[in-house]
Amino acid sequence: MKIFVNKGKLADTEDEAIILALCEGEELAGPALQIDTKSNGLIGELIGSHDFEARPSQISVIYTRGSLPAKRIVLVGLGTRGEFNLEKLRAAFAKAMQHLRTLNIKRAATSSDLGFLPNSKDRVAQAVAEGALLGLYQYAPFKTVDREHLKDVEQLTIVAEDNDFPEINAAVENAQAIARAVYFTRDLVTAPANQMTPAILAKEAGEIATRRGVSCTVLDKVKLNELGMNSLLSVASGSNEEPKFIILEYRGGETDAAPIVLIGKGITFDSGGICIKPSEKMDQMKSDMAGGGAVMGAIMASAELRLPLNIVALIPATENMPSGTALKPGDVFTSYSGKTIEVINTDAEGRLILADALAYASNYKPAAIIDVATLTGACVIALGDDVIGMLGTDDKLKGELQEAARQTGELVWELPLWENYQEQIKSDIADYKNHGGRSAGAITAAAFLSKFVGDFPWVHLDIAGPAWADKDKTYIPKGASGVGVRLLIEFLRNRARQRV
């Protein structure tokens, strides 16, 4: 769907539907009041009869019967004004657009003037655009039967006053770039593992790099051997698909400015390896490259938004498979950092491939390192399906991510990375072991990662819970969520603002 910003009045637009988001128990104001007046009180009548009370995401459709140029008014509820936030607005617009899609409506219009929040029309417009776009996501490349029944809304117009136009237009441009990145990531994560091998993921990365200022380098198996990336290679050893170490670099900042390094776990399928997983829900493990997908989406949007920063994305990519050549419990190898690792559980593969990527990041002398990974089921047990677990060594960086999360509506909660946990990952015969037992599994995974991080500010984000939605959630349709993409972009935009 395309979003346009037009100057004018919502009451005058001729689209198939006008969308109005209303708060519970409030007098009509702004465009809603104008439309109500012009239509001889159609909205007031509905509210007066309690057919529509503006409860969160409640929907009502009114036919204007010629009283307005538009054919329908679609009301969507925001809940009470006291509890209003931008996340409610994203949810409301996702719901409204999904409803329009079921009605097979192609063109709709709305306003960034909610009748309150007069000074935040640009933020309102951004949230409206994000909610609308993200909520309409669908993945259909493999649907061949009844394709003609696939519906999609084609156009949303956001009507703005002349004075507000430039700001609102810029906000909507931003929202569209961000949504494109989220769609890109959702597509990568949803793609089945036979269609999203490490080689295909690397090819996708190469395609992003056709954007201005982005370069892509892919290290293949020969090169990885030369470099001694044995931690990544050990995980890859069970698979017929060759591993790839994907490096994307975006140079938008000063030549000598230290880059921010984003690292994403790129396991294109996690069977568990020799410590094979139960078959129930194993199909979902095609999404084990969601961290890699998120950092690819984030760097792509950063380039589109021309952020004045240097950013590097590192994605170690491989399958984790059982076979006669696979990594075995008890195996020991020397990682890229020179430190030795004893494998206790081959299903704790994410931390193995990240260990080499984290150590490799030191080569850039980065300003910050953020890794994003569907790392542990333990994080899901601790925090649930919707929450990103955050651990790290730098309070300022953690604070910046918390702030970004407040803005995007993604939920981030910190877990402690205290000294006491380090005991659990000491190996009897090597430097470290990749499994610290059942207790505090999300934390000991991060403790393991910390051993491979140089002396740089570092934060680890465990997205095992929110990367995949088992059911529809407001603007996240069931399936790959693209979590982390907006969070990273917001964090980077905030950093870019601090610099100027």
Instruction: Return d(Cα 176, Cα 172) in angstroms, integer.
Output: 6
| 351 has catalytic annotation | yes
Structure tokens at 186: 């959702």
List residues near ligand BES by CB under 6 A: 270, 288, 345, 347-350, 374-378, 380, 435, 441, 464
Half-sphere exposure of 254 (CA within 13 A, CB side): 6
Q: Does 241 contact Zn ion by CB under 5 A?
A: no
Does position 270 interact with Zn ion (CB under 5 A)? The reply is: yes
Calpha distance 443→152 (Å, rounded): 43
Q: One of 123, 277, 328, 406 is an active-site residue; which one?
A: 277
From the CB of 380, what's the least distance to ligand BES, in Å?
6
Q: Is 277 in the active site?
A: yes
Question: What residue 382 binds from Zn ion, ligand BES, Mn ion, none (CB within 5 to 8 A, per partner kind)?
Answer: none
Q: What tokens were used for 238?
A: 């069970």
Site pattern 277..296 for Zn ion (x: CB under 5 A): -----------x--------
Measured from the CB of residue 377, what is the shortest distance to ligand BES in angstroms?
A: 3
Partner interacting with residue 345 (select from Zn ion, Mn ion, ligand BES, none; CB below 5-8 Å by kind) = ligand BES
Only one of the segments 194-202, 266-274, 372-380, 398-406 lies at the binding site for Mn ion (rule: CB under 5 A); that segment is 266-274
Strand partners, 17: 72, 108
> Which residue in the set 347, 410, 462, 490 belongs to the binding site for Mn ion (CB under 5 A)?
347
For ligand BES, the closer CB: 288 or 410: 288
Buried-exposed string 23-45: b where 16+ CB fall within 10 A, e elsewhere = bbebebbbbbebbbebbeebbbe
Q: Identify the residue among 15, 204, 270, 371 touching Mn ion (CB under 5 A).
A: 270
CA distance 166 to 124: 14
**CB of 9 within 8 A of CB of 31?**
yes
Q: Please tell me which residue in 244, 265, 286, 351 is annotated as part of the active site.
A: 351
Q: How many whole angstroms separate alpha carbon 177 and alpha carbon 482? A: 14
Q: Which residue is nearest to ligand BES (CB)?
A: 377
- Reduced to 3 states (helix: H, G, I; strand: E, B; else coil), residue 262 is strand
The helix/strand/coil state of 485 is helix
Helix extents (H) in 277-368: 290-304, 350-361
CB of 43 to ligand BES, least distance (A): 45
Catalytic positions are 277, 351
| Residues lying near Mn ion in the complex (CB under 5 A) | 270, 347, 349
| Residues lying near Zn ion in the complex (CB under 5 A) | 267, 270, 288, 350
